[in-house]
Amino acid sequence: MEIVTSEGREWTSTLIKRTEYTPDCKNLVVEFNNGQSYTYSEISDVEYAEFCNAESQGRYFGTNFRTKKPYKKTEETPQ
């Protein structure tokens, strides 16, 4: 398993451009390739590590986070 940090990470995904995970509050900011950004909450360290190590981040996101975790539109995109 990959070590979880709060640093942002770029992806080569057809869906996801960038993520930033904050382990202390279990929030995951997802910046999509279309420029929109959402904050998903209640993401455990294990779930984020599984997301990072998945063969497809977009597929993992769609199956495990998209409609199963609380979320809100983020006003600012992560840096």
Q: Where are the domains of the chain?
A: 8-73
pLDDT at residue 79, rounded to an integer:
54
Over residues 34-63, the pLDDT tens digits come to 999 999 999 999 999 999 999 999 999 999
Sheet holding 37-40, edge to edge: 8-10, 16-22, 27-32, 37-40, 71-73
